[in-house]
Structure 1
Amino acid sequence: MPSYPLRILLVEDHPFQLLATQCLLRSFGFARLTPTENAEQAICAMAQAEVPFDIILCDQCLPDLPGLELIEIASRRRFTTTAILLSGLPAAELASLINQAVDRGLPLLGYLSKPLNRDELAHLLCPLLKLRL
């Protein structure tokens, strides 16, 4: 299995989803994962990182800050250049969030509905992998 050097920050407040997402990412060959359970932990991890994360996979419904707000903070502070929003929200609400991200100039690749689908995740990550190969 190939190994990819992408540095991924994972922000998910549900312990099972956090573990399942880590396992899914590792099955693709991603080993440089930083799991966090809320926005506060994520901001600390980003601020302490020596280099920006390649991508943030972020739950929209975090206990301390909406995921889109966290992505905006990360983007404005140059903690990352790319993000994927994770959510169990209905498709219409997710589409609205995507529109908000576009309006705000956020680096959102797209969103993934939970539970995560392996093929959908691969589809979103594929352009990043081609840039790194």
Structure 2
Amino acid sequence: MQDPKLAILVVEDHPFQLIAMQMHLNRMGFFYLTPALDAEEARDACKRRGEPFDLLLCDINLPGTSGIELFSELASNGGIRQAILFSCKEEDELQSLEQDLKSRGLPLLACLSKPLDQQTLLQSLGKKSA
């Protein structure tokens, strides 16, 4: 179920896209957002927070460390509870990746296409476990 109090770590390496995504999430009613432009900023945000983010919303294609590697790292060290990854990859590639990551036991809600569609994002958030 949609929870406007979700603490969301948003990782997108393009500053304009990061701002646009934050505005999009604000319009959807999400305001507890922590932006990060790369994996290092995301790691630092997790350390500063001191408790897990409810959701990691992360681009798969990041410089240095991929979004997949960052997701796996943050999930294993308790920095996040669940994640939604996004990319410009083809839909069948994203579905295959989603199945692979879920089969590894990672707390993934979905792999979504960019630009993020509000309805699809809300449906994915509806999968969030309590």
* Equivalent-residue separation in structure 2 for 1:123 and 1:102 (angstroms): 17
Moved over 3 A (4+): none
Q: CA deviation at 1:3?
A: 7.5
In 2, the alpha carbon distance for the partners of 1:89 and 1:114 equals 8
Higher mean alpha-carbon deviation, 2-11 vs 55-64, is at: 2-11
**Structure 1 or 2: larger strand share?**
2
Gaps of 5+ in 2: none
Report how far residue 16 of structure 1 moved: 1.9
- The count of corresponding residues between Structure 1 and Structure 2 is 129
**Counterpart in the other structure of 2:74:** 74
Once the two structures are superposed, what CA deviation does each residue of 1:86-115 show, in whole Å capped at 9, x if it has no partner? 100112321232132123211000011111
**Structure 1 unmatched runs, 5+:** none
Note the aligned Cα RMSD (angstroms): 1.8
Task: State the identity as a percent.
Answer: 43
Query: Contact 2:109 / 2:127 at 8 angstroms: preserved in 1?
Result: no
Q: Secondary structure at the match of 2:80?
A: coil
| 2:94–2:112 CA contact under 8 A, matched in 1 | no
Structure with greater helix percent: 1
State the match for 1:30 in structure 2: 30
Q: Is the 8 A contact 1:40 1:64 kept in 2?
A: no
Provide TM-score, normalisation by structure 2: 0.91
SS in 2 for 1:54: strand
Q: C-alpha distance in 2, partners of 1:97/1:67?
A: 12
How is 1:35-114 mapped onto 2 (pairs within 5 angstroms)? 35-114=35-114
How far residue 50 of structure 1 moved from its aligned partner, in angstroms, is 2.2
